[in-house]
């Protein structure tokens, strides 16, 4: 241990690993790394692939991104997939989480449409290569990239997309379910529904606050529940796989120890995390959310609540529709009542305002501060509120800018957050089954374009070859995985 300590200081001078947990990760704890199709693949019009909402919007208006870029080439993983899998293997992870491009597999996207043979082959190659290298594939079915052909018809605001999604998901099970045993139905519905259809910060850049966001997730929740039950009946007996959903959450802590701020933090968690998790884990939206939106809707002169209602059959179907619960977490906020928000809007319905402690270390992203204890508290929150489900941390990572190969901030972030995961497991009894670093590669980071870097591996987007260079954090994470301890 002493030798390792001195080597670490030599390789990464200036790092002080103070206060990290001495616990080891359980023997069955799984480590992984993640990417997403639109962010890394490129090849936007190859093999029959059609436009997603991100292709369509960024081709129409390049000024959406900070650097006027798009995902047409991205990391060029469509052609460099084998090199990327080599990086995954060298890292020593147990699994690789990646997503399927709906419009690459089904160019027309809708129920009953024909497959792209090239698309089928592309993902077959990735899955087979991973398995050959003893890496477990975790597939995200939907990661923000709705086919534009469906968006022209209303996208997630039109209930017909439910049948389209079910057809797409069943196609994946039919094609790949003999080898893929871990599926994630949706990645971060909050981002698609609130930022995509309400605040207009992400594709499809619609602004219909306080209505479209709720309708969007209502359709996603039904889609998730239905495909879970279909898999449970038609596929699980033979394929023996598991299905989860990935919900992202900032942890909301009270700004002060006052009763008012404690209640504000509780409301924040109900409206931010519970909105998405409660139907799946408890059968319906949180009671506080249902009552408050109904009351505000009435005050606003509406005949019924802006929050759609599930039928009793839908509640029964959705309740318990998970084998594991995906959790994306990056940062924490402090909550208090207040704020000046549009009426109606989700933020106005919630009624809280966010604060951050000035002592927290900021990242290059304007929404991400290093607050390691928030992850532990969030895991405890999930345990206490939802009967301790098996949680897979499906994303966690740090943002910087530039080449920055000696990424000491990211190393500190990974160590400090994983330390809190260990405490949650060993001291709080949380069922955390695994951890996924975001991201394997620097990639197309949505409206930031290529200016924001989350990768364990640096990608030179100015080079035709999209040269990859592992950062120091890559080696640190590799060492953690190998030793099952920090």
Distance CA 277, CA 280 (A): 5
**Could you confirm whether 151 is annotated as catalytic?**
no
Instruction: Label the pairing between strands 369-370 and 361-362.
Output: antiparallel
Cβ atoms of 330 and 362 closer than 8 Å: no
Distance CA 115, CA 31 (A): 33
Give the largest Cα separation in the chain, rounded: 70
Cβ atoms of 319 and 280 closer than 8 Å: yes
List Cα–Cα distances, 17 to 14, 370, 423, in angstroms.
10, 15, 16
Q: Which of 244, 285, 226 is nearest to 391 (CA)?
A: 244
Catalytic-labelled residue, pool 41, 51, 151, 188: 188
Say which residues have a Cβ less than 8 Å from residue 4's Cβ, sequence separation at least 6: none
Residue with tokens 């930031």: 448
Within 270-358, where are the H helices? 275-282, 287-299, 312-318, 346-350
Cβ atoms of 39 and 54 closer than 8 Å: no
Catalytic-labelled residue, pool 57, 395, 420, 445: 395
List Cα–Cα distances, 314 to 189, 193, 229, 346, 458, in angstroms.
18, 20, 11, 23, 45
Q: Is 53 exposed, middle or buried (0-12, 13-18, 19+ CB in 10 A)?
A: buried
Cβ atoms of 329 and 393 closer than 8 Å: yes
**Could you confirm whether 395 is annotated as catalytic?**
yes
Say which residues have a Cβ less than 8 Å from residue 390's Cβ, sequence separation at least 6: 323, 324, 325, 431, 433
Q: Is 354 exposed, middle or buried (0-12, 13-18, 19+ CB in 10 A)?
A: middle
435 SS3 class: strand
Evaluate the CA torsion angle 23, 28, 33, 36 in order and state its sign. negative
Distance CA 105, CA 108 (A): 9
Q: Which of 21, 27, 55 is nearest to 41 (CA)?
A: 55
Distance CA 43, CA 80 (A): 11
Residues with a catalytic annotation lie at: 188, 395
């Amino acid at each position: 241990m002493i030798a390792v300590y001195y080597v670490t200081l030599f390789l990464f001078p200036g790092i002080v690993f103070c206060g990290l947990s001495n616990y080891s990760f359980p023997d069955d704890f799984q480590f992984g790394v993640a990417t997403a199709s639109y962010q890394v693949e490129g090849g936007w019009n190859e093999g029959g692939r059609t436009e997603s909402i991100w292709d369509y919007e960024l081709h129409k208006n390049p000024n959406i991104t900070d650097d006027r870029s798009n995902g047409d080439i991205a990391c060029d993983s469509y052609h460099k997939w084998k090199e990327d899998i080599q990086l995954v293997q060298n890292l020593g992870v147990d699994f690789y989480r990646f997503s399927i491009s709906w419009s690459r597999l089904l160019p027309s996207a809708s129920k009953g449409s024909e497959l792209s043979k090239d698309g089928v082959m592309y993902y077959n190659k990735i899955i087979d290569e991973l398995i050959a290298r003893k890496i477990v594939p975790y597939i995200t079915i939907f990661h923000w990239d709705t086919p534009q052909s469906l968006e022209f018809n209303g996208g997630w605001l039109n209930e017909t997309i439910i049948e389209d999604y079910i057809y797409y998901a069943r196609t994946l099970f039919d094609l790949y379910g003999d080898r893929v045993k871990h599926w994630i139905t949706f990645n971060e519905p909050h981002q698609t529904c609130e930022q995509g259809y309400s605040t207009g910060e992400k594709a499809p850049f619609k602004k219909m606050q306080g209505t479209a966001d709720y309708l969007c997730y209502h359709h996603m929740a039904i889609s998730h529940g239905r495909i879970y039950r279909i898999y449970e009946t038609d596929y699980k007996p033979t394929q023996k796989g598991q299905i989860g959903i990935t919900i992202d959450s900032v942890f909301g802590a009270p700004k002060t120890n006052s009763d008012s701020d404690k209640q504000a933090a509780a409301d924040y968690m109900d409206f931010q995390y519970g909105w998405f998790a409660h139907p799946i884990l408890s059968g319906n939206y949180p009671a506080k959310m249902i009552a408050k939106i109904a009351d505000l809707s009435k005050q606003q002169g509406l005949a019924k609540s802006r929050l759609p209602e599930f039928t009793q059959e839908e509640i029964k179907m959705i309740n318990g529709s998970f084998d594991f619960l995906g959790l994306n977490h990056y940062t924490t906020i402090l909550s208090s009542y207040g704020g000046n928000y549009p009426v109606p809007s989700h933020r106005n319905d919630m009624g809280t305002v966010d604060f951050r402690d000035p002592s927290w270390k900021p990242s290059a992203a304007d929404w991400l501060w290093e607050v390691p204890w928030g992850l532990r508290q969030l895991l405890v929150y999930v345990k206490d509120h939802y009967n301790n489900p098996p949680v897979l941390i499906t994303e966690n990572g740090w943002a910087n800018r530039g080449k920055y190969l000696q990424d000491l901030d990211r190393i500190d972030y990974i160590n400090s957050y994983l330390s809190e995961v260990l405490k949650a497991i060993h001291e709080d009894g949380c069922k955390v089954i695994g951890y996924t670093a975001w991201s394997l590669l620097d990639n197309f980071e949505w409206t930031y374009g290529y200016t924001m870097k989350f990768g364990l591996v640096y990608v030179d987007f100015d080079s035709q070859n999209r040269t990859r260079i592992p950062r120091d954090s890559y080696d640190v994470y590799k060492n953690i995985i190998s030793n099952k301890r920090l």
